[in-house]
Chain A
Amino acid sequence: QAVVTQEPSLTVSPGGTVTLTCGSSTGTVTSGHYPYWFQQKPGQAPRTLFYDTNNKHSWTPARFSGSLLGGKAALTLSGAQPEDEAVYYCLISYSGVWVFGGGTKLTVL
């Protein structure tokens, strides 16, 4: 089974910008992998931020954006807020077999 890789941890200053990435052991992540991004805070269920690479939900803060960058899926946070501290997971499809990344713990400090 393919392995999806994410940075284990990242730190961003309040108001700063950070990019989280999601790579694949099979090579380049493309739109055909239909990448998702989820946010999970301690003790809570995950929340879907983006689907199909860069499509956001009504509840997704505007400071988040999804994209493909350098052969990976990417989640960029511009203007980090304390409430953005969470673990972020990507999920990608390998022809209908879905695999989560290990998650990135984002600290806002």
Chain B
Amino acid sequence: EVQLVQSGTEVKNPGESLKISCQGSGYSFDNYWIAWVRQMPGKGLEWMGIIYPRDSDTRYSPSFRGQVTISADKSISTAYLQWSTLKASDTGTYFCMRLYGSWLQFGDYWGQGTLVTVSS
């Protein structure tokens, strides 16, 4: 059974750093792209970026480039989303999603989401 399991809820202060994770199981992790998607409270979905764990090829949405870092450790089938300096506006739920295909045209499973709250 394919699963993407994300790390748990985080509560952080502004200025702190954070790294959340998305662990894949039930499939060959390094053969599929992992996307990260943000959902701010009460708002829609926003595409942040993607990574191909096999070679760590990473592509960011222009809106998120320089704001976050996406990485992966294929040895433990895990992708990461990282902030070096959190802001209150980073509050939201973050989802990972699996995709594949030359144009990423095949997407299927999602993680359960990680709620990140940044507040003083």
| CB pair B44 A89 closer than 8 Å | yes
Count of chain A residues near B, Cβ 8 A: 25
Asked if B95 is at the interface of the complex by the 8 Å CB criterion, the answer is yes
| CB pair B112 A34 closer than 8 Å | no
The chain A residue with its CB closest to the CB of B6 is A45
| CB pair A51 B106 closer than 8 Å | yes
Separation of A100 and B61 alpha carbons in the complex (Å): 11
Asked if B113 is at the interface of the complex by the 8 Å CB criterion, the answer is yes
Q: B-facing mask of A14-28, CB < 8 A → 1, else 0?
A: 000000000000000
The chain B residue with its CB closest to the CB of A103 is B44
| CB pair B47 A100 closer than 8 Å | yes
Asked if B89 is at the interface of the complex by the 8 Å CB criterion, the answer is no
Residue among A36, A45, A55, A100 with the highest chain B CB neighbour number at 10 A? A45
| CB pair A45 B112 closer than 8 Å | yes
Please list the residues of chain A having a beta carbon within 8 angstroms of any beta carbon in chain B: 1, 34, 36, 38, 40, 45-48, 51-52, 55, 57, 87, 89, 91, 93, 96-103
Which residues on the A side are within 8 Å of B112 (C-beta)?
Answer: 45
Count of chain B residues near A, Cβ 8 A: 25
| CB pair A36 B107 closer than 8 Å | yes
Which residues on the A side are within 8 Å of B59 (C-beta)?
Answer: 96
Which residues on the A side are within 8 Å of B103 (C-beta)?
Answer: 34, 93, 96
CB distance from B90 to the nearest CB of A (A): 18
Separation of A102 and B47 alpha carbons in the complex (Å): 12
Separation of A87 and B45 alpha carbons in the complex (Å): 11
Contact of B110 among A45, A55, A87 (CB under 8 A): A45
CB distance from A89 to the nearest CB of B (A): 5
Separation of A47 and B97 alpha carbons in the complex (Å): 10
Between A and B, 6 residue pairs with Cβ closer than 8 Å are A46-B45, A47-B110, A52-B101, A93-B105, A99-B47, A100-B37
Separation of A103 and B104 alpha carbons in the complex (Å): 21
Which residues on the B side are within 8 Å of A48 (C-beta)?
Answer: 97, 107-110
Separation of A45 and B113 alpha carbons in the complex (Å): 6
Which residues on the A side are within 8 Å of B120 (C-beta)?
Answer: none
Separation of A8 and B116 alpha carbons in the complex (Å): 26
| CB pair B110 A102 closer than 8 Å | no
